[in-house]
Amino acid sequence: MSDFSDRPFAAGSMFGLRAFRVDGLGRLTGVSHQSVWTPGENVAECLQDRAVNIYARLQADLFNSLYGAGGYSIHTTPPPTSSSTRFWSSSWPSSRTSPAALRQQADQAQRRAQALIDAEQAENAEESMHTVAALDCKCGFYAYFDGSADYYETARDEGVALAAVIEGYGVCTTGSRGFRASKARIVALIVPPAYIEDDLRTSIRVRKVLRNYPDVPVYASDTEAIAAHPLTEDSTTPETCDDFWTRSAS
């Protein structure tokens, strides 16, 4: 079915290799979704749930831009009469509208807007009733246990990057190449000596990383890191995958 989403992982934790960007403060971030990883436990967030919250904030900002932060209309005169604005002529408050009537209209509009926001949030909440990193969710912390880290070169091409071994746990979903986890921590950093000497910018950022994540062991190669923190073995077999004999292999 998928490199990362074949089946749920029953219990325990999984170890995998992945790439990180290094930002200007020496923090490790994701490559595609650049959320900052902290020392210790990191908890994944569903991007679909985040989108619902952003939509609600945008709706509120739109209302405030039209009616003012206090909920009162900032429009006191009708717009120019034309075919393009005729739609508004029946509801646009005129200059003769009393302040009390304006407040009433604004309050009614605010209630209608809030009702729309509440309905949208409720609808999206029902659609997103899933567990992060489960089979029906594509979010979570990704890592490879087949020895690759596809995004490493992409991250290096666009800036400073490091590879690392992470431990994933909580809710985990596994595939033929790696896993997704709802929780994760960095257990090993891979910092080749030559990489630090590449250029001054790289050296400065990497040294900041070592300062910011002092409790994470550092290894000079992925071979050394994986020897100390063995990657989880791929369990894709004819017994675990219904499409084992027909699926494509990476």
SS3 content of the chain, % helix, strand, coil (to 5): 35, 20, 45
Q: 182 and 207: one domain?
A: yes
Q: Is the dihedral of CA 57, 62, 68, 70 positive or negative?
A: negative
Residue with tokens 């679909």: 48
- The total domain count for the chain is 2
Measured distance CA(13)–CA(34) in Å, rounded: 24
Looking at residue 7, its pLDDT comes to 45
* pLDDT value at residue 76: 41
Judgement on whether residues 20 and 143 belong to the same structural domain of the protein: yes
Considering the domain architecture, whether residues 86 and 162 belong to the same structural domain is answered as no
Q: Same structural domain for residues 199 and 151?
A: yes
- Domain range holding 122? 49-127
Same domain flag for 42 and 149: yes
- For residues 84 and 178, membership in a common domain is answered with no
What is the pTM assigned to this prediction?
Answer: 0.61
Instruction: Identify the DSSP state of 181.
Output: E
Residue pointed to by tokens 């408050």: 93
Single out the residue in 101, 127, 153 at which a domain terminates: 127
Round to whole Å and give the CA distance between 61 and 141: 32
40-49, 91-100, 144-153: least confidently modelled range: 91-100
Q: Tell me what pLDDT residue 198 has.
A: 72
| 122 and 152, same domain (yes or no) | no
2: in domain: no
Span 185-203, mean pLDDT? 89
Q: How many CB atoms lie under 10 A from the CB of residue 99?
A: 9
Both 107 and 189 in one domain: the answer is no
Among 41-45, 72-76, 80-84, 142-146, which is the least confidently predicted range? 72-76
30 or 135, greater pLDDT: 30
Residues 84-128 have pLDDT tens digits of 444 444 444 555 667 777 677 777 777 777 777 677 666 665 555
Looking at residue 4, what is its pLDDT? Answer: 40
CA distances to 88, 92, 147, 166 from 80, in Å: 10, 11, 66, 62
* Whether residue 136 sits in one domain with residue 171: yes
**Predicted confidence band at 64 (pLDDT cuts at 50, 70, 90)?**
low
Is residue 172 within 8 Å of residue 3, measured between CB atoms? Answer: no
